[in-house]
Amino acid sequence: MHVVADALSSVGVVVAGVAIALTGWQRLDPIMGGVIALVIAAGSLKLVREAVDVLLEATPAGIDLDGVSRAIATVPGVVEVHDLHIWSITTGLPALSGHVRLDGAQPHTSDEMLNRIKQTVLDRFGIVHTTIQIESRGYQELGDVH
C-alpha cells in the first residue's frame, strides 16, 4: 500500500505539472501538495495506531476476547477459562496466554487437551502463538489472583 500511495503521489505531481504547463494555473501546485500530504497523513495515522496498540499490548482489532474465551470453553473437558490475555507481538502476529481449568472427567492427557485448545484458537481466530496453563478442577491459585 505504501508503494502504491507513493506511485499515485508521483503520478499526481506529473499530472499537476503538465496541467500547470498547459494552463498556467499555479495554484494547482499547492493543491496537489495538500492532497499528497493528506494521503501521507492518513497512512501515517494507521501505522502509528498499530504501533501504539502493539506497545500497549492491546487486544488486536478484529479479535473478540470474550469470543475467544467462549470458544475455548466449548472444548470438551474445559470447565473454566480465566486470566486470558491477547495482544500483538508485532502487527499481524497475535499472541494469547491464559489459564484453563479441566473437569478431570475426560480420559485425555493435558497434552491432548492443550493441543485441542490450541487448534480451536488457531482455526477460529488465527492465533498461532499461545501459552496456556492447564489446571485441574481442584487447583487453588497461590498468591495474588488477577
Each residue's pLDDT tens digit, 52-70: 777 777 788 889 999 999 9
Contact 102, 134 (CB under 8 A): yes
DSSP state of 146: -
Residue 27 pLDDT > 80: yes
Residue ranges per structural domain of the chain:
2-55, 65-135
On whether the 65-135 domain is CATH 3.30.70.1350, my answer is yes
* pLDDT reading at 42 higher than 80: yes
Pairing of the two strands 93-102 and 78-90: antiparallel
Residue 146: pLDDT over 70: no
